[in-house]
Amino acid sequence: MNKNRLEAFSDGVLAIIITIMILEIKVPEGANFSDLMMLAPKFLSYILSFVYVGIYWNNHHHMLQSVTKVNGKILWANLHLLFWLSLIPLSSGWMGEHNFAKATITFYGIILFFSAIAFWLLQNIIIASEGQKSILAKALGNNFKGKISNLLYLIGIVISFFYEFIAAAIYIIVAIIWLVPDKRIEKVINSKE
């Protein structure tokens, strides 16, 4: 299979995920700004989730730049990632609907954690397919950002049972860590050209 088809499918799924998230925010019934303010928790949840989906889209794109061939394992690992990402609208909507209640923050963290694990798994399957001297293997190195993110997600999930807003802050910190595009793959590709 051509990697362009895999990337196009993934881009379509991510676009649908973002569309579902915005459709969860209903237009206020009133015409005053105070009516709009009642949507603040939903809107904040949407912003955080939009950023996360954007981060995954950006890093997925960079990762697929390094791929020379696509096999069945890569296809299934990619679908596994898209599965977890497709749960972001559910967790985001639940979190916004219930004003960042403990259970909703915990569930959101679990979805973020398993999305990160699925991305890590996809990376490793690509490296196994492309080889240890592949562009992706060289670019990732020890993958400190990935490891620290997974650790922070786990910490956030545990803390969410006691202090939901500290857990939410941890999830925001992870997003900030990844908000700056990861240039490792681009650097390796550009150095080969």
Containing structural domain, residue 43: 3-192
DSSP 163: -
Using pLDDT thresholds of 50, 70 and 90, give the confidence band for residue 133.
confident
| pLDDT score for 192 | 62
Q: H-helix or E-strand containing 182?
A: none
Cβ neighbours of residue 188 closer than 8 Å, sequence gap 6 or more: 66, 135, 138, 139
Number of domains composing the chain = 1
For 59-87, the pLDDT digits (tens) are: 999 899 888 889 999 999 999 999 999 99
Q: In this model, does residue 193 exceed pLDDT 60?
A: no
CA dist 193 → 34, 85, 128, 133 (Å): 55, 33, 23, 16
